[in-house]
Every structure is written in C-alpha cells, then in structure tokens.
Amino acid sequence: MHPDRPALKDTLAATTYYSNPERRLYGKEVGEKIQEALKTLSEKERLVFELRHYQGLRLKMIGEIMGSTEETAKNYLFRATQKLRAYLTNV
Amino acid sequence: MTCKEYQHQITLFLYDELSESARFELETHLHNCASCQGAYESEKAMHSVLAEDAIGWDDIPSDLLVESRKALADQLDRIEKKRSWWRMPAFSVVFTPMRMLESAALVAMGLALGVYVSNQRPVPVQTASNTGQDSQISLLRNGTISNLQVVNSDPVTGQVELAGEVSQPLRFQGKMEDDTVRNLLFSALRDANNPGSRLKAVEVLSQKPTDESIEEALINALVYDDDAGVRMRALEGLKKFADEQHVRAAFMHTLQNDDTAGIRIAAIDALMAHNSKDPAFAKSLEEAAKNDDNAYIRSKVLQFVGTSK
C-alpha cells in the first residue's frame, strides 16, 4: 500500500469518491475491493445483496424470486452486509 | 427488543426496508443508546461506500452490464437447477400460472432473468366453471391464502383473474414406495426456513434409500443444504453406497468443499471404508484432501495412500 494512501477502513466514512479524478481512481480501487469482498459471500447472500443493492429490487420481490419469504431475504441481506463489513474493514 | 435485534434492523433501515412503526422505534432507540448509535454510524459509513460503488455502475458500458446480468442469470439458473428435482407444485394449489408472478420479476430485472423464468412449470388456470363448487368452498374454508394478486380485471364483463397461493392442512400416511409419500418428503426438503423439517425428511428418506430419486434427494441434501445437521444425516444415509460412482463423487465434493470438519471426516471415513485401495483412487483422494486444514483428514489420507501402494 502507498504510504500516503489512507487505509480503506479510514475512508469508509468518506462519501465523495467521484468528486475529482484522484478520488475517482481510488473509488475504483474500493470497487475492486468490494468485488473481492463479494466473493466471500455464499451464493444466496450474494444473490440477495446484488439484487437489492445493485438492481434495487425490494426484499419482498427477491424473496418471491428465490421461492422463499421476505424474512429469509432480510436475513441473507443482513448476513451479506455483515460479511462485507468484516472483510472491508480488515483490508 | 434487545440492542442486538435493533442492530439487525439497521441494515434494513438503511435499505429503506423497515415499516414506518419499526423505523420510528429504531430511531427512538438510537437516540437513547450510544452503543447502537455507534453501530448505526459504522453501518451507515459502510452503506455509503457500497452506495458509491453502486452509483459507479451508471458509468459501466452497457455491454458490460449485459454481461453482468447474464452472469447473474446464470447464477439464478444454477440455483434453480440445484432445486429442480424438488420444485414440484403438487401440494400447493395455485390459481393461475406462477409464470405470471415471475414475469413481473422479469420486467423488473430485464432480459437476464428469462433463463430463470423458463425453468418454471406452468400452473393451469382454474376457472369458476371448471372447478367444482364443493372443492372451492373447501379451499376457502381450510386453506390459507397468501400473495394474492389481481392479474386482470375487466370492468365491462366483470371477469377477474387472480393469482396467489393456497396452503391447506395436510395429514397423509402411506408406504415409502408411494409416490405421494416421497413427493411430500421431497417437499419437506424444500422448506428453506425449517431445518428441523428437512432433517426429519432426510432421516425418513435414509431408511430406504434404494430408490434412485431418494438417493438423488439425499445427494442434493448432502451437497446443497445450508444446515450441517441435515448434510451429516444425508451422508449417513448414503454411506453404504459410497462405492457407487455418483455417491462417491458427492462424497469427494463434500471432502473438498464442506465447511464442517466433522462432515468431511465422515465423508473420508466412508470413502475409505467402502472403496478398494487401488492407487488411482488413492491418488484422487490424496489430491482432494492434501490441503485440508484438519490434521486427522490429512493423516487418514496419508495412511490410505501408504497402504494402497
């Protein structure tokens, strides 16, 4: 890691990655870390997370798509975000 | 509600998935609890990072987006294939094609989910004229209706099409050879929210795993079930068939992929007990387990390889 580059965990609170090119580049690196973190999720956790986070589907709909319930989808989303946080704060 | 339960709700809060009353209750609690407030701030920071990443998706070329959606569809397809043998709607009375409901998802998710939808079985539409009055009354009296939606409504003719699911109380007895009994047990295996029900089903199916469909169900439970107890019971049911090619393949998969060391140990013990010590098999076993983090498994493999030469 570059000595001047902040640790990922220190930048989690920052919300303006794309305000300038340098931040945008760093944002891209963060995006890559997120993609790595997504690989640590189970198949269903990742499915629920991607449908909710990137596709914007409601958990009720996701539950129906999975042939399950909204409650189950909620649990998978919760577990997914916990795992992502654990992974990303340790990077 | 405990702090842990409130913290569980923070994720849903940030995704705007809480009801108004739950949101109000959580906000009130956060105002009065420093620990949960800290957890909220941390979760919110993480959410912001993830949200920025999601915004970045707007800049992605459309062909890449299509590729990603295809990958997602493949993933859905794979999950569906894993379940396909037990996704039989024989015991769920549905008024109109499930495909209708899935089509709504299709519109929301785009082309990619078409793969998933194509794997669903159509459910025949019942109409007031082709369903006996007695059975309709019985259905409405005894069944629990859920997810009811109005698919079509014509104010001129008064014709309405409804889609939903009806579940009814059930008591059934019969022999394991009976298709209905087996299908009911397979249906229990698909109960994602009830590992106890799945475990019982696996226990019963393990009593007579001579039928090919039962063996396949046990293999699926061994490989795909989320619950370690269910996987272990399925493995025990399959043990005596560990010399058969497809069961052996499932056990090898378990040996390489199962998170629970106890199940991997049971798998390797069964493989070694029911297979001859020929060098080719010993080599594949060694390959499968050489990097296992469990010392017992590594030593058993070395012992097997050593005596097979």
- Most confidently predicted of A20-24, B59-63, B104-108, B233-237: B233-237
Q: Is the pLDDT of residue B129 over 90?
A: no
* From A44-48, B33-37, B103-107, the region with the lowest mean pLDDT: B103-107
Amino acid at A7: A
Looking at residue B143, its pLDDT comes to 63
* Residue range A66-86, pLDDT digits in tens: 788 899 999 999 999 999 988
What number does CATH give the domain B3-59?
A: 1.10.10
Fold of A43-91: Arc Repressor Mutant, subunit A (1.10.10)
Please tell me if residue A27 touches chain B, with a CB cutoff of 8 Å.
Answer: yes
Task: Please tell me if residue B107 touches chain A, with a CB cutoff of 8 Å.
Answer: no
Average pLDDT over residues B10-30: 91
Average pLDDT over residues B279-306: 84
A65/B49 touch (CB, cutoff 8 Å), yes or no: no
Contact A65 B116 (CB under 8 A): yes
The 10s digit of each residue's pLDDT in B190-203 is: 887 788 889 999 98
CA nearest to A78 within chain B: B11
- Residue B76 scores a pLDDT above 80: no
Per-residue pLDDT for B222 more than 90?
Answer: yes
Residue among A12, A61, A84 whose CB faces B45 most closely: A12
Nearest-Cα distance to chain B for A54, in Å, is 6
For residue B175, pLDDT over 60 is answered with yes
Instruction: Find where tokens 């014709």 sit.
Output: B159
Whether B193 and A18 lie within 8 Å, measured CB to CB? no
pLDDT confidence of residue B65 = 54
State in words which class domain B179-308 has: mainly alpha
Residue B208 distance to chain A (closest CA, Å)? 29
pLDDT at residue number A80: 92
Cβ <8 Å between A43 and B75: yes
The domain segmentation of chain A, as residue ranges, is: 43-91
Q: What is the pLDDT of residues A49-62, one digit of tens each?
A: 988 888 888 898 88
Question: What span, in angstroms and rounded, lies between the C-alpha atoms of B71 and B67?
Answer: 6
Q: Is the pTM of this model over 0.80?
A: no
The rounded mean pLDDT for chain B is 75
Of chain A, the percentage scoring pLDDT greater than 90 comes to 18
Per domain, the residue ranges of chain B are 3-59, 63-167, 179-308
Q: Do domains B3-59 and B179-308 have the same CATH topology?
A: no
For residue A27, give the chain B residue with the closest CA. B53
What local confidence, expressed as pLDDT, does residue A12 receive?
41
| Mean pLDDT lowest among A59-63, B51-55, B157-161 | B51-55
